[in-house]
Amino acid sequence: MDEKKVTHQIAVVLHRPKYAGNVGSTARAMKNMGFTHLIVSEGGPFVPEEMYMMATHFAQDIIEQATFANSLKEALSDFQFIVGTTARTGSQRGPTGALRDVARKIVHLAKENKVALLFGAEDRGLTNEDLRLCHEIVTIPTAGEFKSLNLSHAVMIVCYEVFMASCQPTEGFVPKLATSAEIEGMYANLKEVLTEIGFLNPQNPDYFMYHLRRFFSRTGLLARDVKIIRGICRQISWAIKNKRLQSTD
C-alpha cells in the first residue's frame, strides 16, 4: 500500500478544540502531510470563515469534508487503532510510547485498519478518561520545562512522523482489529458481570477496569475475540440469574 492510501486510512480527531483558527490551522498541517480526514468532537459551533481563513484555500476541502461528532465515543466508534497524544504523564494516564516507533506501528496497522490520531483541547489536553479509549499514548519530546505545543504544531509533528514512516516498506501480517464501538461494548459487559460476581468494588469499579483496558490494549483484540469475551459474559450472567431462580424455588 502506498503512502497516499495509508494516510487516507488515518483520521485526525480534535476533541473539544476551543478556537476555529486552530481547526483551520490543523487542516493546513494535515494537507502538508497528505492527510484528508478531520473529525471534530464536542467542538464549536465555529464560524466557518475563521476556519477557512487559517486553512487557506489550499486546505479548504478538508474543512468542508470534516465530520463533527457529539461525543468522543461517537467520533472514535469506527476506528480500530486509536493513538492519543499528551504532554502530561502519570501512572493513571498509562505508559507512553516513542512517537517514531508508534508511527511505524500506525503505518503497519493502517493497511487493514482505520486509525485515529487523537488530540485534546488547547488548554487541558486529553483527560484520563479520554486516554482510556486509546490503544497507544505518545508524547512529543520538547526542550526545557515548557512542554505545551500549539494544537496545529502538535498535529503537524505527529503527521510528519507517520508520513515519514509511510515512505518506508513494511512487511508482515496485518490483523483486522475490533472497532472502538465493539471494544467499548465488551468493556461494558465485563464491568457489569465482574461487578455482579463481586470481583469489582461497586464503589470504584473503574479502578480495576483501567488495568483490564491496559491489558487488552496490548493484545490487539480482533472482532472475533471481542465476540467470544462478550459471549462468556452473557453466559456468566445467565448462569448467575438461573442459579438465583433455582434457589428461590
- CA 246 to each of CA 99, 194, 233, 239, 242: distance values in angstroms, whole numbers, following the listed order: 55, 21, 20, 10, 6
Whether residue 217 sits in one domain with residue 161: no
Domain boundary among 112, 143, 166: 166
Residues 97 and 193 reside in one and the same domain: no
Confidence at residue 143, expressed as pLDDT on a 0 to 100 scale: 84
Written as nine digits, the cell of 183 is: 471494544
**Is 124 among the domain residues?**
yes
- Residues 217, 82: contact at Cβ < 8 Å? no
41: left (phi over 0), alpha (psi -120 to 50) or beta: beta
The string of pLDDT tens digits covering residues 34-87 is 999 999 999 888 999 999 999 999 999 999 999 999 999 999 999 999 999 998
Q: Residue 33 is which amino acid? A: M
Kindly state whether residue 171 falls inside one of the protein's structural domains: no
Among positive and negative, which fits the CA dihedral 19, 81, 133, 144? negative
* Tens digits of residue pLDDT in 162-219: 999 999 887 788 989 999 999 999 999 999 999 888 888 878 888 889 888 888 888 8
What φ, ψ does residue 119 adopt, rounded to 5°? -125, 140
| Pair 160, 201 in one domain | no
* More confident call, 246 vs 240: 240
Q: Answer for the pair 27, 33: CB distance below 8 angstroms, yes or no.
A: no
Domain boundary among 140, 166, 192: 166
| Domain identity same for 51 and 103 | yes
Q: Which domain holds residue 185?
A: 180-248
Question: What is the DSSP code string of 138-184?
Answer: EE---SSS-----HHHHHHHHHHHHHHHHTS---S----BPPHHHHH
Domain boundary among the residues 134, 166, 198 is at: 166
Q: Cell triple for residue 45?
A: 459551533
Residues 193, 236: contact at Cβ < 8 Å?
yes
Local confidence band at 148 (pLDDT 50, 70, 90 cut-offs): confident
Pairwise CA distance, residues 140 & 148, whole Å: 9
In a domain, 232, yes or no: yes
When divided into structural domains, the chain yields a total of 2
